[in-house]
Amino acid sequence: MRRKLAAGNWKMNGTSTSLKEAEALAAAFPSPGCEILLCPPATLIHRMSGKLEGSAVMVGGQDCHMALSGAHTGDISAEMLTDAGASHVILGHSERRADHCETDEMVRAKAETAHSQGLVAIICCGEALETREAGETLAHVGRQIAGSLPDGCTGENTVVAYEPIWAIGTGKIPTLAEIGEVHAFIRAELVARFGAETGNAIRLLYGGSVKPSNAAEIFAVADVDGALVGGASLRAEDFGGIVSALENA
């Protein structure tokens, strides 16, 4: 039985005043029926972790460097994330792949480092619109999964997020059948590579324009174990609606 996970990605949004949203979320779900994670910008991780101490809401980072430490100005290490109170880290988000030229090999190296520091890696994959229109979604996602996941992945240290790039922040989502097709494909790839026990234990999140209004139907799709949520995770009320839908799925 895979634990369901609602993960919020605040991206480059949020300052001190936004911490009240995290506190409101924690107050609304004192003992939730699913895991809840917020990934604020790096500047807020430590303060958010302090505010959420003792609550059911976990805190994560949005990236980490592949090196443990060293001369990498502006970067953040996996150890710094854990030291600041993070338990998870998002890796290989399409915005980082695009803005920072992150390759599958880099994501894989980052995931290895994250695992070595005890972080759960949420490894993202997903196709651009041209790729979907060319009928190459599964081949593309298959390559990303093969290249971005290190051999040491387990159900405890890894979560995979399927996020079609054209659905992120656009209000468009794939059909439920399309989501189901990709999730079933990823599941089969994981089982083929890691074996049935581990392949079936790694959780698969859907991401891309998830909102309180569409969450329940997405969560009813087989092999959708939760969501990675951008815009709708910024306000406790919106994210709470998605968490409630996941609790009831």
Closest to 68 in 3D by CA, of 121, 120, 116: 116
Of 21, 65, 88, 93, which is the active-site residue? 93
The answer for residues whose C-beta is within 8 angstroms of residue 190's C-beta and 6 or more apart is: 145, 160, 198, 199, 200, 202
CA distance 21 to 9: 13
Asked if 66 touches ligand PEP (CB under 6 A), the answer is no
Specify the residue, 11 or 115, whose C-beta has the smaller distance to ligand PEP.
Answer: 11
Closest to 40 in 3D by CA, of 77, 75, 15: 15
Residue nearest to ligand PEP (CB): 230
What's the min distance (Å) between Cβ of 127 and ligand PEP?
A: 14
Q: Which of residues 9-38 bind ligand PEP (CB under 6 A)?
A: 9
Residue type at position 46: H
Token code pair at residue 13: 């949004």
Residue type at position 96: R
DSSP lists the bridge partners of residue 220 as none
Q: Which of residues 212-241 bind ligand PEP (CB under 6 A)?
A: 228-232
Token code pair at residue 59: 């805190």
Q: Are 148 and 107 in contact (CB under 8 A)?
A: yes
Q: State how far the alpha carbon of 117 is from the alpha carbons of 39, 73, 84, in Å.
A: 17, 20, 13
What's the min distance (Å) between Cβ of 229 and ligand PEP?
A: 5
What's the min distance (Å) between Cβ of 4 and ligand PEP?
A: 17
Size of residue set near ligand PEP by CB under 6 A: 13
Q: Are 3 and 35 in contact (CB under 8 A)?
A: yes
Asked if 207 touches ligand PEP (CB under 6 A), the answer is yes
Asked if 80 touches ligand PEP (CB under 6 A), the answer is no
Q: How many Cα neighbours within 13 Å face the side chain of 27?
A: 9
Whether 93 sits among the annotated catalytic residues: the reply is yes
Whether 65 sits among the annotated catalytic residues: the reply is no
What's the min distance (Å) between Cβ of 73 and ligand PEP?
A: 26
Specify the residue, 9 or 49, whose C-beta has the smaller distance to ligand PEP.
Answer: 9
Q: How many C-beta atoms lie closer than 10 Å to residue 152's C-beta?
A: 12
Binding mask 152-191 for ligand PEP (x = CB under 6 A): -----------x----xx----------------------
Q: Which stretch binds ligand PEP (CB under 6 A): 12-20, 57-65, 150-158, 205-213?
A: 205-213
Residues with a catalytic annotation lie at: 93, 163
Contacting residues toward ligand PEP, per CB under 6 A: 9, 163, 168-169, 207-210, 228-232
